[in-house]
Chain A
Amino acid sequence: MDPLLASIGHYMFHCFGLLAVAGALALVFSKNAIHSIVGFLLAMLAVAGCFLTLSAEFLAVAQLLVYAGGIVVLFLFVVMLVEMTKYKEKGLFQIQAPYAIAVVLAGAVVVISVFWRTWFGPDATKALTLSPTLAQGLDVANQNAQAVSRGIFAQYLLPFEILSVILLVALVGAVVLAKTERV
């Protein structure tokens, strides 16, 4: 990778990550469901950018295709099918929302206190680098698609086949669940 690209890659990751968090916050806290979906789309695109800066190019493109191309459209279709306007006045959040926020913040404090010990440690600013002894002939950084395909079709073939069966079951199940009942 170019030195210039490597030097800005660091900041690119931060930009994409903060964009993803902003999209997630828009997803959770917006009133309109369409706005939530737009926030979700922003978060997914930003996560794809994060994958790119982590040099997982194949996963980034797969993320774009699956999430931004497929799942967002599915959510939009369901919003179109389901009438949302009648619950506008019912309130956005559950009754237990303050307690839930408190629980999440408590978990966040615990994890951040763990982070605090590593944040200023000796390895804190060390960039993620490939260790050449571990790469074992798979040039993960430069030939990402080949490396991933070798991993998924050789080493993890059984999980891949199980996943294909799961996808088939999900396909049939979705059709059975969503079809209209005829008398």
Chain B
Amino acid sequence: MPSMNAVLFISFLLFSVGVAGVLIRRNVLIILMCVELMLNAANLNLVAFARHSGTVNGQAFALLVMGLAAAEVSIGLALVVALYRKKDTIQVDQINLLKG
């Protein structure tokens, strides 16, 4: 079994790479994938703490998070397709109708 520190550290690295990807990339698809990556890092933490406490709660929650992530990505990809039909682009810096 790996130590708790190792699990937390790997999960932290995955999460920070996901945050960096969301902040720096222009492509909506890559941003969605980075969101998935962050959810996976959280799942890794949940599983590690479930293992640590000897109960199954963390694993059940990780399963629920996985289903929620699937719902989120399907909605996100439908939005991407609708956006591409409307604006002919999926670069987030060109979707500036609100002039934010």
Contacts and interface: CB of A to CB of B under 8 A. Distances in A.
Interface of A: 6, 9-10, 13-14, 17-18, 20-21, 24-25, 27-28, 33, 36-37, 40, 43-44, 47, 50-51, 53-56, 58-59, 62-63, 66-67, 70-71, 74-75, 77-79, 81-82, 84, 87, 90-97, 100-101, 103-104, 107-108, 111, 115, 118-119, 123-136, 138, 140, 144, 147-148, 150-152, 155-156, 159-160, 163, 166-167, 169-171, 173-175, 177-178, 180
Interface residues of B, number: 73
Nearest to B86: A181
A94 B24 contact: yes
Given A44-B40, A50-B44, A104 B20 contact: yes
Given A56-B59, A167-B71, A131 B54 contact: yes
B77 A21 contact: no
Would you call the interface of chain B mostly helix, strand, loop, or mixed? helix
Interface in B50-100: 50-57, 59-64, 66-75, 77-82, 84-85, 89-93
A13 B14 contact: no
Interface of B: 1-10, 12-14, 16-21, 23-27, 29-30, 32-34, 36-37, 40, 43-44, 47-48, 50-57, 59-64, 66-75, 77-82, 84-85, 89-93
